[in-house]
Amino acid sequence: MSSQYVFTMHQLTKVHPPDKTVFRDLSLSFLPGAKIGVLGYNGAGKSSLLRIMSGDDKEFDGEAQLAPNATVGFLQQEPHLDETKTVHENVMEGLSELKALVDKFNELAVNYSDETADEFARLQAEIDAADAWDLDNKVEYAMDALRCPPGDWNVTDLSGGEKRRVALARLLLSAPDLLLLDEPTNHLDAESVAWLERHLENYKGTVVAVTHDRYFLDNVAGWILELDRGRGIPFEGNYSGWLDQKAKRMAMEKRTDVARQRRINEELEWARKNPKGRQTKQKARLNNLDALMEEQSAQRLDETRITIPPGPRLGGTVIEANGLSKAFGDKLLFENLSFTLPPGGMVGVIGPNGAGKSTLFKLLTGLEQPDSGTVKLGETVDLSYVDQSRDSLDPNKNVWEEISEGLDYVKVGEREMNSRQYVASFNFKKGDQQKKVGSLSGGERNRVHLAKLLRRGGNVLLLDEPTNDLDVETLQALEDGLLGFPGCAVVISHDRWFLDRIASHILAFEGDSKATWFEGNLQAYEAWRREELGDEADRPHRLTYKKLTR
Please give the annotated binding residues, written as ranges.
40-47, 351-358
CA dihedral 535, 538, 540, 545 (to 10 degrees): 90
**What would you report as the CA-atom Rg of the chain, rounded to the nearest whole angstrom?**
27
User: CB burial class (10 A; 0-12, 13-18, 19+) of residue 489?
Assistant: buried
Q: Is 458 helix (H, G, I), strand (E, B) or coil?
A: coil
Phi, psi at residue 325, to the nearest 5°?
Answer: -135, 145
Residue from 513, 76, 148, 93 nearest 327 by CA? 513
Pair 213, 193: CB distance under 8 Å: yes
Start-to-end C-alpha separation, the chain: 60
Q: Is 325 helix (H, G, I), strand (E, B) or coil?
A: strand
Which residues touch 286 (CB under 8 Å, ≥6 apart)? 267, 271
List binding-site positions for ATP.
40-47, 351-358
Q: Is 20 helix (H, G, I), strand (E, B) or coil?
A: strand
Q: Is 97 helix (H, G, I), strand (E, B) or coil?
A: helix
The number of beta carbons lying within 10 Å of the beta carbon of residue 273 is 7
CA distance 39 to 239: 10
Phi, psi at residue 278, to the nearest 5°?
Answer: -90, 65
Residue from 401, 388, 476 nearest 41 by CA? 476
CA angle 232, 234, 237 (to 5 degrees): 150
Which residues touch 50 (CB under 8 Å, ≥6 apart)? 38, 74, 180, 182, 208, 210
CA distance 549 to 332: 9
CA distance 210 to 197: 14
